[in-house]
Amino acid sequence: MVQLAYPRALLKISGEALAGTVGAGIDFRVIDRLTDELKQVSATGVQLGLVVGGGNIVRGATASDQGMDRVSADYMGMLATVINALALQDILEKKGLDTRVMSAIRMEELAEPYIRRRAVRHLEKGRIVIFAGGTGNPYFSTDTAAVLRALEVEARVILKATNVDGVYTADPKKDPSARFLAELTFQEALVNGYAVMDANAFGLCKENRLPIVVFNINQPGATARVLAGERVGTIVQ
Ligand code: UDP
């Protein structure tokens, strides 16, 4: 077993990442690849929590721009995260991993209610805990939910899975002079306006000194390498 730099970690997977190239809904080829990756990660002995987004199905702000009540739209977004969580759980279990979905919105037929101590117990037993339903409150994001859960269960790091290699000084797709940044302090990220996470989530990390690693989930083996302490992606701390 490899030495772990972070014995307990929280991985944030955006809804967008699950949509693959289609851009919406769930691409099960992506889930297949991702769960293979998570199986590898789990074999290292790391205690792993997942927070999934819902932007591939409903985003509250977008639905409200189109005429929906914002609060209802946000609840729809939170329900979308549950749909994604169930998809991930199903495929992870098919691959032999032990998992629990814990929802911030009670729906006992399909998920356990989120109870902090119980979540910690699951993690200690080596179960992958998938935190669904965001924070359970409208006007928040799953980035904030990820940081909140990470702090609550005392994860040592938050891994932000994206489709880019990490943080750049500008958008590398638009600006050829964009520089990759391997390491940043919270202050540097804030001052330069690098969008690592939304402002609420970022503020919580900064205040509580919870390191964030932004990395490319499409790079095979990247998640396990980050957890082993290899320099992958950008670390903000
Ligand atoms: N959401 C919410 N409260 C939360 C988490 C999420 O209201 O604590 C809603 C919000 O409408 C958001 C949607 O759920 O747009 C999907 O989450 P998010 O946009 O964070 O997903 P991602 O961008 O990671 O796919």
Q: How far apart are CA 219 and CA 37, in angstroms?
A: 10
Give residue 185 CA to ligand 1 midpoint distance, Å: 26
Q: b or e along 141-176 (b: 16 or more beta carbons within 10 Å of the residue's beta carbon)?
A: bbbbbbbbbbbbbebbbbbbbbebbbbbeeeeeeee
Give residue 70 CA to ligand 1 midpoint distance, Å: 12
* Other Cβ atoms within 10 Å of 210 Cβ, number: 21
| Angle at the Cα of 142 from the Cα atoms of 137 and 129, rounded to 5 degrees | 100
What average pLDDT is seen over the chain? 94
Q: How far apart are CA 125 and CA 231, in angstroms?
A: 28
- Tell me the pTM: 0.95
Cβ-proximal residues to 63 (8 Å cutoff; 6+ apart), any chain: 73, 76, 77
Give residue 227 CA to ligand 1 midpoint distance, Å: 26
Q: State pLDDT tens for residues 137-150.
A: 999 999 999 999 99
R_g of the chain computed on alpha carbons: 17
Q: Counting atoms of ligand 1 from 1, which one is nearest the CA of 138?
A: 7
Q: Is 193 exposed, middle or buried (0-12, 13-18, 19+ CB in 10 A)?
A: exposed
Of 11, 56, 78, the one to substitute when testing ligand 1's pocket (max ligand atoms within 8 A of C-beta) is: 78
Q: What is the pLDDT of residue 207?
A: 97
Answer for the pair 49, 100: CB distance below 8 angstroms, yes or no. Answer: no
Q: How far apart are CA 115 and CA 102, in angstroms?
A: 8
Residues pairing with 9 in the sheet: 48, 157
C-alpha distance from residue 72 to each of 51, 52, 118, 140, 184 (Å)? 21, 19, 29, 13, 37
Q: Whose CA is nearest to atom 6 of ligand 1?
A: 141
What is the band of 3 on the pLDDT scale with cuts at 50, 70, 90? low
* Of 154, 177, 180, 178, nearest in space to 167 by CA: 180
What is the band of 18 on the pLDDT scale with cuts at 50, 70, 90? very high
- Residues in the ligand 1 pocket, defined by CB under 6 Å: 14-16, 53-55, 59-61, 73-74, 77-78, 80, 134-135, 137-138, 140-143, 145
Q: How far apart are CA 229 and CA 3, in angstroms?
A: 9
What is the band of 171 on the pLDDT scale with cuts at 50, 70, 90? confident
